[in-house]
Amino acid sequence: MSNARALRQLPVLVTLLVAFMLMIMPMPATAEPFRPDWLALVLVFWAMSVPRSYSVGIAWLIGIVLDVAQGTLLGQHALALCVIVYITVKFHLLMRVFPLSQLTATVFALLALYQFLLFWINGVAGVTAPAVDYWGPVVAGTIVWPILSIMLSGLRYRVQTGG
């Protein structure tokens, strides 16, 4: 039984690992502000699909690891990820039945909230950044979401049923 459970969780762990690698991968300076928040997108997808297994605790751990990897304030991404994943888990039954266009608009709002929390924490800490550093990932993530959602939907069945 334990082997089957581990096999079911493998796709989620692989997608989270790939998202983490995409977050820390170096990019040209001109493209850096438009890097989608891959971890936020993947965490929202899995929190919506399997909310009992992947929710706030996982978001906190991944956020702490992301803070350490990026050298940002410790707990900054962890807090922001926890908030958006909590909202996703709270409304996951409603979000599951949204058409893709409405779900994309909802993800836009979640990503905007995520970036606002990062902006607020940076402002309190005295860290300044241009506006494109906050709005670029929101726009890029909103554009990427439909494609990512369709790609991960094939894995969702495997994770939920073990098939």
Task: Kindly give the confidence (pLDDT) of every residue in the chain, 163 residues in length, as a single tens digit, with 9 standing for 90 and above.
Answer: 477 777 778 889 999 999 999 999 999 999 999 999 999 999 999 999 989 888 899 999 999 999 999 999 999 999 999 999 999 999 999 999 999 999 999 999 999 999 999 999 999 999 998 989 999 999 999 999 999 999 999 887 777 666 6
Q: Would you give the DSSP letter of residue 25?
A: S
In-domain check, residue 62: yes
In-domain check, residue 161: no
In-domain check, residue 89: yes
CA dist., res. 116 & res. 135, Å (int): 9
Q: How many C-beta neighbours within 10 Å does residue 150 have?
A: 10
In-domain check, residue 163: no
Q: How many C-beta neighbours within 10 Å does residue 73 have?
A: 16
In-domain check, residue 72: yes
Q: 19 lies in which domain range?
A: 2-156
> What is the pLDDT, as a whole number, of residue 40?
98
| pTM given for the model | 0.93
Which residues fall within 8 angstroms of residue 108, CB to CB, at 6 or more apart? 138, 141, 142, 145
> What is the pLDDT, as a whole number, of residue 162?
65
Supply 119's token pair: 């902006």
In-domain check, residue 20: yes
The domain total for the chain is 1
Supply 98's token pair: 């949204």
In-domain check, residue 70: yes
